[in-house]
Amino acid sequence: MKNQLIGAEATVKMLEAYKVKHIFGLCGDTTLPFYDAMARLDHGMTHILTRDERHAGYMADGYARVTGKPGICEGPSGGGATYILPALVEAGESSIPILAITTDVATTSRGKYPLTELDQPALFKPVTKWNASLDQANQLPAQIRSAFRAMSTGRPGSAHLALPFDTQKAPVDPDLIWADQSHAVFPAARQAAQVSECEVMAGLLLAAKHPVMICGGGPLLAGAMAEVARLAEMLNMPVATTVSGQGVIAETHPLAVGVVGSNGGVASTRALVDAADLVLFVGCRAGSVTTERWRSPSHDKTILHIDNDPMVPGANYQTEAAIIADAKLALAGLIQAIESRYDSDDLPDFDGKARAAAAWTAKLADFEPLAMSSQSPITPEAVIHHLSAVLDDDAIVVADPGTPCPYVSAHYRWRRDGRVFITNRAHGALGYGMAAAMGAHIGNPAVKTVALMGDGSFGFCCGEFETMMRYNMPITSIVFSNAVYGWIKAGQKSGFGGRYHNVDFNRTDHAAVASAFGVKSWRVENPAELPSIMRQALDHNGPSLIDVISQPLHEAAAPVSEWVA
């Protein structure tokens, strides 16, 4: 007679079948059967114990971005389920597949007011691509297969599965344990482009005079870096990116423009978009930040759009031609359509190298005096300049959305393509960067990982320094310390007459706090000390932190268009 599994054991076996190697999470009463199964079974997975469930989800997010595999996080019922929710919101809107497994009260206890009772499926339904509760134990293998299929296909996204206490202990037929390996990575089941769509788009593109390609995160997720460069080089066409699209093309490539939009775009990159007669969006939603609230590009331009979500093209701009397909396959089809129409000697030349070079020249002219400034508090430009000078090309930089993000996006010039930069641009919650950096390090431990945050973000996440120390992760954290919720104060200055209200707080000695956890830490007030201290921090063989006393955003020359007069 074959041995029966219980639901908790079947969960472990199914994750093992999908070749899961790391799980991020935090224990609770309702999780006891699952943790017991993890302890007893030989599965080859490592469980990373975190200090709260929100950061477990953010770690799974960073892990998924660097590995190309769905990230797995878990937490208990009640508060654990509510804490893990923000990570699923961010991942889902950023097209990153993470699966949150939250345990729950027994199905037999529902409606009897048990401790931590919560309608988990109702809570997670609006913010996930797939969501279910395991109310019958034998459904578990099929449900996990459904979760992996939903997360990895079409537009990737987040998923949630609730495991009630009694179904974790109920029998499951071991013959039901199997995985579809095509869904163990993403994107899976890629949709190819239709030849007719490619031919129509090729004709419109080749008829333009001054086109520009704007790439979002889609080509990065699809691994379409070579296709982006190939299309650009064929036509000498400039390539700009969104913040999420950084890494689609090396920014030292002669056709790379860098970031456009209200967060990281500058006057010269905006001018390049404004001068274009055609804009090709690739894997980009053309949302409010990328287009500066739909003003750049203006609505009189010819718009072409490639995206794997049919709801995106035409949502914000009248679109002359669209290809609904995976970015890599769509670009390959577009290139083939162009090559079948023209010999290489007859292709148009869109003067992209000269246009991109002019944009960089103007941007650097504004950046370099601030980057070399000796003033105190230290300019954020100086931090970016010195970090870029000492950090290896293959390093991964993770930035919170406050003070660091616009400076990294505008001024850190990435010298290679690929997943070199991570930030949470969908919902922009503070406290994301350090946890995502931890997940990225576990996913790719061979390269250096750096976490950038403001002191507002530091307050959200500093408990995870204990986790970082426990696993001896050699991550360098850099804190822009300016004792203010800087983004909001800058908005109060630019849009509300400088009427500052309740955005300032006391300065924390972040180096001392990190040192209390065992992190090797420095405090820097003199910009002349930055190169030496950055080198020491990056070379340290364990967790390190640099607390930079920096210029606040409302007094700085931040590359954020809404703050510029």
Encode pLDDT of 227-283 as tens digits. Answer: 999 999 999 999 999 999 999 999 999 999 999 999 999 999 999 999 999 999 999
For the chain, the average pLDDT equals: 96
Contacts of residue 310, Cβ cutoff 8 Å, sequence gap at least 6:
324
Q: Does the pLDDT value for residue 142 go beyond 60?
A: yes
Give residue 343's pLDDT.
84
Q: Does the pLDDT value for residue 1 go beyond 50?
A: no
Burial of residue 495, with CB atoms counted within 10 A of its CB: 0-12 exposed, 13-18 middle, 19 or more buried: exposed
User: In which band, very low, low, confident or very high, does the pLDDT at 506 lie, cut at 50, 70 and 90?
Assistant: very high
Q: Does the pLDDT value for residue 503 go beyond 70?
A: yes
Q: Which of 265, 266, 234 is nearest to 332 (CA)?
A: 234
Give residue 564's pLDDT.
80
3-state secondary structure of 493: helix
Question: Quick one: average pLDDT of 275-298?
Answer: 96
Instruction: Say what the pTM is.
Output: 0.97
User: In which band, very low, low, confident or very high, does the pLDDT at 342 lie, cut at 50, 70 and 90?
Assistant: confident
Query: Domain extents for the chain?
Result: 5-183, 195-355, 372-563
Q: Does the pLDDT value for residue 219 go beyond 50?
A: yes
Q: Which of 555, 124, 204, 139 is nearest to 376 (CA)?
A: 555
157 φ/ψ angles, rounded to the nearest 5 degrees: -170, -170
Which two three-digit tokens encode residue 409?
């996006």
- Return the CATH architecture of domain 5-183: 3-Layer(aba) Sandwich (3.40)
Q: Does the pLDDT value for residue 338 go beyond 70?
A: yes
User: How far is the C-alpha of 135 from the C-alpha of 165, rounded, in Å?
Assistant: 10
Which two three-digit tokens encode residue 203?
């004709």
Helix, strand, coil shares, percent, the chain, to 5: 45, 20, 40
Give residue 341's pLDDT.
84
User: In which band, very low, low, confident or very high, does the pLDDT at 2 lie, cut at 50, 70 and 90?
Assistant: low
Give residue 562's pLDDT.
86
Question: Quick one: average pLDDT of 16-40?
Answer: 98
Per-residue pLDDT tens over the stretch 89-113: 999 999 999 999 999 999 999 999 9
Euclidean distance between the first and final Cα of the chain, in Å?
77
Per-residue pLDDT tens over the stretch 514-563: 999 999 999 999 999 999 999 999 999 999 999 999 999 899 999 998 88
User: How far is the C-alpha of 84 from the C-alpha of 512, rounded, in Å?
Assistant: 29
Strand partners, 369: none
Question: Quick one: average pLDDT of 355-371?
Answer: 96
Q: Does the pLDDT value for residue 347 go beyond 70?
A: yes
Give residue 315's pLDDT.
97
Per-residue pLDDT tens over the stretch 447-482: 999 999 999 999 999 999 999 999 999 999 999 999
Q: Does the pLDDT value for residue 565 go beyond 80?
A: no
Run of H or E including 205: helix 195-206
- Return the CATH architecture of domain 372-563: 3-Layer(aba) Sandwich (3.40)
Which two three-digit tokens encode residue 358?
């002019």
User: Percentage of residues in the chain with pLDDT exceeding 70?
Assistant: 99
User: How far is the C-alpha of 223 from the C-alpha of 327, rounded, in Å?
Assistant: 8
Residue with more model confidence, 384 or 562? 384
Task: State the residue for tokens 């990328």.
Answer: 290
Give residue 344's pLDDT.
79
Q: Which fold, 195-355? A: Rossmann fold (3.40.50)
3-state secondary structure of 484: strand
Give residue 204's pLDDT.
97
